[in-house]
Structure 1
Amino acid sequence: MPGILPYYDTETKDLKVIENSNEHHSHGACQPLKAIAGYDIDVVLTNGMGRRAVSLLNEGGIKVYLLEGDTVEEAIARFEAGELRELTSDMACQGHGCH
């Protein structure tokens, strides 16, 4: 079963689920923009991500923040309060299994 990605619109407060068919891939072959193509996304919240994925998202104009909170609702509240730390490629994971 493919993974899922919660999609939250900060303007309308609408929460949807995007199916992530790009969840499993060979190391270094990720295509994070492919999973969210067609959506107007400018921020991704994550509990960990590799350098290549962070770089590709950043190149696509998308900022990445480290996830905090036990629920989607908590994570969104912390993001909206400006409490999340931006994830840079320097801080990203360097292999599978670290996130």
Structure 2
Amino acid sequence: MRIAFPSTEKLGLDSPVYAHFGSAPYFVIVDADGGDVETVENKDLHHLHGNCQPLRALGGISVDAVVVGGIGRGALTKLNQEGIVAYRAVEGSVSENLALIKNDGLPRFNIDQTCQGHGRNGECIH
């Protein structure tokens, strides 16, 4: 399974998982089965609020899941339409969240848990 983890840093598995999908500068892409790790820039970083294009953000890289602290309704809907599952991250690194997802320790996002806006520091308002 290929998983995308939004992040503010390019530290591979040590990257902190970011609180919001659309405004993350980078995505750490992990092949949970093979162990490959790559970091890509968010190709849709400067979109208008509410107009996130998650597949463009990932630069066309195919993933099976996204693990993130928060995500907007539109982005979640678009990911789900493509068969991509979004999981709610815990505060911590990619490696910590990867271990949790491998053990079914992260819940799936549902539409009622999506971000309703942004706070002063870019954090999601739920």
Alignment TM-score > 0.5, same fold = yes
Mapped to 2, the partners of 1:78 and 1:21 lie a distance apart of: 27
How many percent identity over aligned positions?
Answer: 36
CA deviation profile, 1:36-74 (whole Å, cap 9, x unmatched) = 243230100001011111001001110000011411110
Q: Which residue of the partner structure matches residue 58 of structure 1?
A: 80
Does 35-44 or 61-70 show the bigger shift?
Answer: 35-44
Q: How does 1:1-99 map to 2 (within 5 A)?
A: 3-97=25-119, 98-99=123-124
Backbone CA RMSD of aligned residues = 1.6
Q: Which residue of the partner structure matches residue 9 of structure 2?
A: none
Long gaps (5+) in structure 2: 1-23
CA deviation profile, 1:2-45 (whole Å, cap 9, x unmatched) = 81100000121111101102123212211011122432301000
Q: How many residue pairs end up in the alignment?
A: 98
TM-score between the two structures when normalised by the length of structure 1: 0.89
Mapped to 2, the partners of 1:69 and 1:9 lie a distance apart of: 21
Q: Secondary structure at the match of 2:96?
A: helix
Q: Secondary structure at the match of 1:44?
A: strand
